[in-house]
Amino acid sequence: MKENTLKHIEHTDITQFQSDLIGWFTEEQRDLPWRKDQDPYKVWVSEIMLQQTRVDTVIPYFLNFIDKFPTVATLAAAPEEEVLKAWEGLGYYSRVRNLQSAVKEVHEQYNGQVPNTPNEISKLKGVGPYTAGAILSIAYGIPEPAVDGNVMRVLSRILSIWKDIAKPSSRKVFEEAIRKLISHENPSFFNQALMELGALICTPTSPKCLLCPVREHCHGFHEGVQNELPIKTKKKSTRSVSLAAAVLVNENGEFLIHKRPSTGLLANLWEFPNCEIGDFSTARKQLEQFLLTEYGLQVDLENGVKTKIDHIFSHLKWNINVYFGKINQSDQPNDSSMEIVTEEELAKYAFPVSHQKIWKCYVDERGILN
DNA sequence: AAGACGTGGGA
DNA sequence: TTCCCAAGTCT
pLDDT (tens digit per residue) in A346-359? 999 999 999 999 99
- Do residue A249 and residue A162 come from a single domain? no
How many separate domains does chain A show?
Answer: 2
Among the options A10, A27, A47, A105, which is catalytic? A47
- Do residue A114 and residue A202 come from a single domain? yes
Which residues in chain A, range 46-105, keep a C-beta under 7 Å from any nucleic strand C atom?
A: 46-47, 50-55, 92, 94, 98
CA nearest to A177, candidates A201, A153, A208, A204: A153
- Using the C1' atom of nucleotide C7, identify the protein residue whose alpha carbon is closest: A50
Query: How large is the average pLDDT for residues A5-14?
Result: 80
Phi then psi dihedrals of residue A316, to 5 deg: -155, 170
DSSP code string of A35-84: GS---HHHHHHHHHHHTTS-HHHHHHHHHHHHHH--SHHHHHHS-HHHHH
Q: Evaluate whether A27 touches A201 at the Cβ level (below 8 Å).
A: no
Give nucleotides in strand B with any atom < 7 A to a protein C-beta. 1-9, 11
Provide, in whole angstroms, the distance separating residue A251's CA from nucleotide B10's C1'. 46
Nucleic strand C under 7 Å from the C-beta of A129: yes
User: Quick check: A368 pLDDT over 70?
Assistant: no
The domain boundary, picked from A162, A189, A222, lies at A222
Q: In this predicted structure, what is the pLDDT of residue A9?
A: 80
Nucleic strand C under 7 Å from the C-beta of A354: no
Does A153 or A234 have the greater pLDDT score? A153
Q: Evaluate whether A308 touches A322 at the Cβ level (below 8 Å).
A: yes
First to last CA, chain A: 71
Taken in order A331, A319, A271, A274, is the CA torsion positive or negative? positive
Q: Binning pLDDT at 50, 70 and 90, where does residue A2 land?
A: very low
Q: In this predicted structure, what is the pLDDT of residue A256?
A: 95
Provide, in whole angstroms, the distance separating residue A168's CA from nucleotide B2's C1'. 10
User: Quick check: A319 pLDDT over 70?
Assistant: yes
Has residue A230 been placed in a domain? no
Query: How large is the average pLDDT for residues A241-270?
Result: 95
User: Quick check: A1 pLDDT over 50?
Assistant: no
Has residue A227 been placed in a domain? no
Average pLDDT, chain A: 93
Query: Which domain range does residue A208 map to?
Result: 2-222
The domain boundary, picked from A169, A190, A222, lies at A222
- Do residue A102 and residue A169 come from a single domain? yes
CA nearest to A9, candidates A176, A152, A166, A151: A176
Strand B protein footprint, C-beta under 7 A: A 52-54, 56-57, 89-94, 167-169, 205, 235-236, 264-267, 311-316, 352-354
Instruction: Note if A276 is an active site residue.
Output: no
Query: How large is the average pLDDT for residues A120-146?
Result: 97
Q: In this predicted structure, what is the pLDDT of residue A356?
A: 96
Provide, in whole angstroms, the distance separating residue A232's CA from nucleotide C10's C1'. 22
At A250, is the secondary structure helix, strand, or coil?
coil
Q: In this predicted structure, what is the pLDDT of residue A3?
A: 42
- Do residue A180 and residue A300 come from a single domain? no
- Using the C1' atom of nucleotide B1, identify the protein residue whose alpha carbon is closest: A168
Phi then psi dihedrals of residue A317, to 5 deg: -130, 130
The domain boundary, picked from A222, A251, A270, lies at A222
- Do residue A244 and residue A214 come from a single domain? no
- Do residue A48 and residue A194 come from a single domain? yes
- Do residue A8 and residue A39 come from a single domain? yes
CA nearest to A305, candidates A328, A285, A289, A291: A285
Q: How far apart are CA A87 and CA A270, in angstroms?
A: 13
Q: In this predicted structure, what is the pLDDT of residue A367?
A: 65
- Do residue A249 and residue A123 come from a single domain? no
pLDDT more than 70, % of chain A: 98
- Do residue A213 and residue A257 come from a single domain? no
